[in-house]
Amino acid sequence: MADVLMVGGGLIGLASAWQTARAGLAVTVIDPDPGGGASRVAAGMLAPVTEVVYGEQDRVALNIAAARRWPAFAAELERATGIDVGYRPTGTLLVGFDQDDAAAVADLYAFQKELGLEVQRVTGVDARTQEPMLSPRVRIGLIAGEDHRVEPRAVLRALIRACTDAGVELDRSRVASIEHDDERVVGVRTEDGEVRRADRVVLTAGAWSGTIDGLPDDARPPVRPLKGQVLHLRDPGGRPVLHTTVRGLVRHRSIYLVPRDDGRLVVGASQEERGFDTTVTAGATRELLDDAAAIVPGIDELELTETIAGLRPTTPDNAPAIGWSRLPGLMIATGHHRNGVLLAPITADAVTALVNGKDPDPVIAVADPNRPALATRSDQRTVPSPGLDALISSNRNTGGPP
Ligand SMILES: Cc1cc2nc3c(=O)[nH]c(=O)nc-3n(C[C@H](O)[C@H](O)[C@H](O)COP(=O)(O)OP(=O)(O)OC[C@H]3O[C@@H](n4cnc5c(N)ncnc54)[C@H](O)[C@@H]3O)c2cc1C
């Protein structure tokens, strides 16, 4: 019998399983398709500074701590597996396209400075000196020296290997229900009817975490899926198009281009309230290409190698839910929204501390799964954290309120 069952093997479940197993516990991850959720779609930005949002200042400390945890986590994972997880501390450049975009970037700069974040203002010329492929139309820029990147698919590959080597059992089943008696959790039932017993169960099923049967109402995390579409572009000769992550505001919409070492660029992302729909649409693809080409015109020559959509697990207040639920023995670790890659190592540390009866890092307190904001049902608040779009009047959200 496992000491701990992780329900879901995305970045959050796998990172938590690896750390918990390394702390000496017997861990099973149950997932029909480990690494197949939002984590596979994510661009891999580790962006506590350029993701900062008005009204969500309370999680800046968590996001900064999460970013600072990454270098050691990446090094440990690479040492354990020999897999390069693509952690690249190259910073992020944020640019504005037209005059209104430049004004919004200037506002963001003032807000980031007010929060004490490390950010530097540069001219369009400076930005082009750093990234020569940028359009001459690009105006003001910001350099966020602490916003780095990683390759999420490489991290998933490494975590699956690290988990296996650390003795984690990977059970490719779907969990149908959480099993509990009058007092506490006793395990889970899989779709084939088998009961897997454990007195500690961690719910790490991403956007699906609220859909599993058997959860008492006061322990069900109010997460909903927030769809995001991304594109992969590639220079046919494998030459790098950009060196750093470039984010932009283009005619009131936000866009990012995240480079990979093999010459690919990941361009994203839409934010759509479409339930559990992962269709790739022509409209989102066209918008992403138009906006990306406005700041990096050379992308027109690149090969379009992949289009994909994923579902961000999103709570009513856009902050994650990490900690013991009201059902004894059931822990929640989900709701990571736009920052699940950034938050994976620090979440894994918190889960490991908690299952061992220890106190987690106090910065995790903002993610209390029993906070009042999560007492509402997941469908009662549908304003996704808009990231850079918060600065402007219209955005890429196609389904939610403004
Ligand atoms: C387009 C897009 C771009 C993004 N870019 C970034 C970024 O640049 N930086 C960043 O930090 N974050 C980013 N994110 C957010 C990030 O991807 C998520 O927050 C993170 O991947 C969530 O991880 P997870 O492990 O909780 O969920 P997931 O990766 O979705 O994994 C959940 C797992 O649970 C499994 N599962 C579901 N139901 C069951 C069940 N009943 N039984 C067993 N298993 C089950 C699924 O198969 C899946 O493997 C992005 C997301 C999207 C969609």
4-70+153-223+316-374 CATH, one of 3.40.640.10, 3.40.50.2020, 3.50.50.60, 2.130.10.10:
3.50.50.60
Span from the CA of 335 to the centroid of ligand 1 (angstroms) = 9
Residue 144 scores a pLDDT above 60: yes
Residues of the chain with CATH 3.50.50.60: 4-70+153-223+316-374
Is the preceding omega at residue 350 within 30 degrees of 0, hence cis? no
At 376, the pLDDT band (50, 70, 90 cuts) reads low
Best residue among 18, 312, 322, 346 to mutate for probing ligand 1's pocket (most ligand atoms within 8 Å of CB) is 312
Residue 401 scores a pLDDT above 80: no
Q: Is the CB of 39 under 6 A from ligand 1?
A: yes
Classify domain 89-147+225-311+387-391 at the CATH superfamily level.
Answer: D-Amino Acid Oxidase, subunit A, domain 2 (3.30.9.10)
Q: What is the average per-residue pLDDT within 249-260? A: 95
Amino acid at the residue 189: R
- pLDDT above 60 (res 283): yes
- pLDDT at residue 397 above 60? no
Residue 386 Cβ contacting ligand 1 at under 6 Å:
no
For ligand 1, is residue 44 a contact (CB within 6 Å)? yes
For residues 83-106, one letter each, b for 16 or more C-beta atoms within 10 angstroms of the residue's C-beta and e for the rest, the string is bebbbbeebbbbbbbbeebbbbbb
Q: Whose CA is nearest to atom 21 of ligand 1?
A: 39
Please tell me if the CB atom of residue 296 comes closer than 6 angstroms to any atom of ligand 1.
no
pLDDT class of 377 with cuts at 50, 70, 90: low
Highest mean pLDDT among 126-140, 236-250, 275-289 belongs to 275-289
Ligand 1 mean position, distance from CA 135 (Å):
33
Closest Cα to atom 2, ligand 1: which residue? 42
Residues of the chain with CATH 3.30.9.10: 89-147+225-311+387-391
How confident is the model over 256-282, as pLDDT tens digits?
999 999 899 999 999 999 999 999 999
CB neighbours of residue 126 within 10 Å? 14
In tens, the pLDDT along 84-106 reads 999 999 999 999 999 999 999 99
